[in-house]
Amino acid sequence: MLLALTALALLAIGLFMTLGARGSWAFVLSYRGTKLAAIVLVGHAIAVSTVLFQTISANRILTPSIMGFDWLYRLLQTALVFSAGAAFTVTIDSVLLFAVETAILVGFACLLYGTLLSSHARDIHRLLLIGFVLGVLFRSLAELMQRLIDPNDFVVLQDLMFASFNTVDVSLLGVAALVIGAATLATARLLPTLDVLALGRDTAISLGIAHRRTTLLVLALCALFVAVSTALVGPVTFFGLLVASLARSLVGSRRHAVMLLAASLCAVIALVGGQTILERGLGYNSALGMVVEFAGGIVFLALLLKKGTA
């Protein structure tokens, strides 16, 4: 199955790079290669962060996005435009902005979810409720500021808050690749530990795992992956749930070495293949972010209604 997914991913990449190409190949490969790199980085980051979060939360319907990360990102963007204006926002150094947003997301993850998931209050329903409540709080604060800002600034803000795979900040690709690469290496070193964590908190502790410290480390990695994906294309709420569920159904393995690779390949196939269809088949008539959100939302509802998911 992994070989088949790899072949499909390579086929999708090949079609994306060559289908309908005209003019100078140097320009075409450079232009499409930049977009392809961003799509692959985002797909990998979202897939890995979702699988990691589901492991430490022991629940297949939770993702970092559902638990408030996306609206925290939107709140940060809104607060920046509200306080400094759109003119300052579009001129600020993107690497500096990325570093600040990453630090805030990592701190939020470790402070809140690290406390909830590793303390004695381990009720998953309470965690889900608090995540949704915080998401509503962040959304309310963001919408309040959006009603008060200048209409011209709001137009700029809208472009920052919604996922778009057509406009990618090229200056962030190098930094994003380094961060994702480092986080992926750290995740690879934790693979055996993640397999033990999936057995449950009490079992992991009895087998010698420092559960609280490991949970905080995994949460920090999740926040790094989410920060990179949102900084490059914007927030995507349900896509991680979609690819994680698809990978789990295809490989049928609990080993994280297999699950993470399968989820990453499914993400690449979905994003690269979907972008190819939209660009070459539909002529940009649809936004890929809207399509994956719709499909991921259906998967979320199906898992929520299915017995035994919690």
Mean pLDDT of 210-232: 81
* Highest-scoring range by mean pLDDT, 9-18, 59-68, 93-102, 234-243: 9-18
Q: Where are the beta strands (DSSP E) in the chain?
A: none
CB 202 within 8 A of CB 196: no
Amino acid, single-letter form, for residue 172: L
- Cα distance from N-terminal residue to C-terminal residue, the chain: 27
> In sequence order, what are the residues at sequence separation of 6 or more whose Cβ sits closer than 8 angstroms to the Cβ of residue 202?
none
Q: What is the mean pLDDT of residues 139-167?
A: 75
Q: pTM, whole model, 2 decimals?
A: 0.81
> What pLDDT score does 185 carry?
94
Q: Which CA distances in Å does 39 have to 109, 162, 164, 177, 275?
A: 24, 15, 10, 12, 9
d(CA 98, CA 162): 16
Query: What pLDDT is stored for residue 121 in this prediction?
Result: 47
**Residue 166: what pLDDT?**
63
pLDDT tens track for 235-286: 776 788 888 888 888 887 788 889 999 999 988 888 888 778 777 666 665 5
Q: How many residues does the chain have?
A: 310
Question: Which two three-digit tokens encode residue 2?
Answer: 């992994």
Provide the 10 A C-beta neighbour count for residue 14: 12
For residue range 37-74, list pLDDT tens digits in order. 888 888 899 899 889 888 887 777 777 777 677 778 78
The count of other CB atoms within 10 Å of the CB of residue 11 is 13
- DSSP letter at 172 equals G
Dihedral class, residue 62 (left if φ above 0, else alpha if ψ from -120 to 50, else beta)? beta
Answer yes or no: is pLDDT of 309 > 70: no
Q: Where are the alpha helices (DSSP H) in 58-149?
A: 70-84, 86-91, 94-108, 114-118, 124-148
pLDDT tens profile 122-148: 555 666 677 778 888 888 888 888 888
Say how many C-beta atoms besides its own lie within 10 A of residue 160's C-beta. 19
